[in-house]
A = this chain, B = another copy of it.
Amino acid sequence: MQAKDIGEFRLIQRFKREIRVDSSVITGSGDDCAVLKLDKQNYQLLTCDMLIEGVDFTLKDNPYLIGRKAIAVSLSDIAACSGQPRYCVISLGLPGNTAIKFIDKLFQGMLDISRKYKVNIVGGDLSRSKKIIIDVSMLGQVEKKRLTLRSKALQGDIIFVSGPLGGSILGKHLKFTPRLNEARFLSRNFKINAMIDISDGLAQDLGHILNQSNCGAVIYEDLIPLSKEADGLSAALNGGEDFELLFTLSRKEAGKLLKVKRPHFRPIGEIMAKDYGFKLIDKQKRALNVRPKGFQHF
């Protein structure tokens, strides 16, 4: 049996069930970040994301944007937990014949976005490899009260997204804005129950919230905001890397949020009991079962 016969999530599950952690670990593997005890008021957040040439980008992409993305995906994980990024380390694998011009632009993309979001680049590891590999680990922190996880959605919650979906394949995956400011705004002013960033498509990432919160959901085709570039609803449901926030909050809190002039926060459905399942109401008012089939590596 081989990796591809088992699939990404079952492979991770296989490893996870053997892991034991001590009581300083609030949330280990399985959320956007690991959540670790820090002090009376704050938790520490830790996350890692690897980009590989040919999978996450190609040599035809702008190297500045590749470097930027390598940092931005981890920023997006910190945002999903409502945290603030602080430090990162970067492991870089490069072929010996990589042009210095290319490397300089890659570095500049990393430097600029790190500076913008006040992340200290504090170390790294450089190796020779056949393909370009960039792995970023990021450390952040979040006030205990403001931490948002995938596992805390409640029946009756309204489901929101932070912006239009389905633009990933047309370039958004390289140029997206990590929603740090939006997450901090939300967690400062509202009681957010569950949150995730959309990195595998709406269907799969809402699926993660439902699995981990032990809930069902209904979403409405009419309400799902599509990018101008999106190739229909399927691009939003299964399109991968939009890096918008997907979050849930009580009906009352949702009412407050709708009064705020932030039109890009859009309600798309509601959290239901688990036995309801996960349904999409299409434009003809038919209820269709949603099967998460976003991006899987295996």
Interface residues of A (CB under 8 A from B): 1-6, 8, 11-12, 14-15, 18-22, 24-25, 28-30, 33-34, 36, 39, 46-50, 52, 54-56, 86-87, 89-101, 103-104, 107-108, 111, 115, 118, 120-131, 133, 135, 137, 139, 297-298
Give chain B residues whose Cβ lies under 8 Å from the Cβ of A3: 94-98, 100, 103, 128
Give chain B residues whose Cβ lies under 8 Å from the Cβ of A48: 89-91, 123-125, 135, 137
Q: How far is the CB of A74 from chain B (nearest CB, A)?
A: 10
In the complex, residue of chain B having the shortest beta-carbon distance to the beta carbon of A120: B21
Main secondary structure of the interface of A (DSSP, over half): mixed
On whether the beta carbons of B50 and A121 are closer than 8 Å, the reply is no
Q: How far is the CB of A37 from chain B (nearest CB, A)?
A: 10
* Oligomer: number of copies: 2
* 3 smallest beta-carbon distances between A and B, as pairs: A137-B137, A34-B122, A4-B96
Give chain B residues whose Cβ lies under 8 Å from the Cβ of A5: 100
On whether the beta carbons of A99 and B1 are closer than 8 Å, the reply is yes
Give chain B residues whose Cβ lies under 8 Å from the Cβ of A115: 20
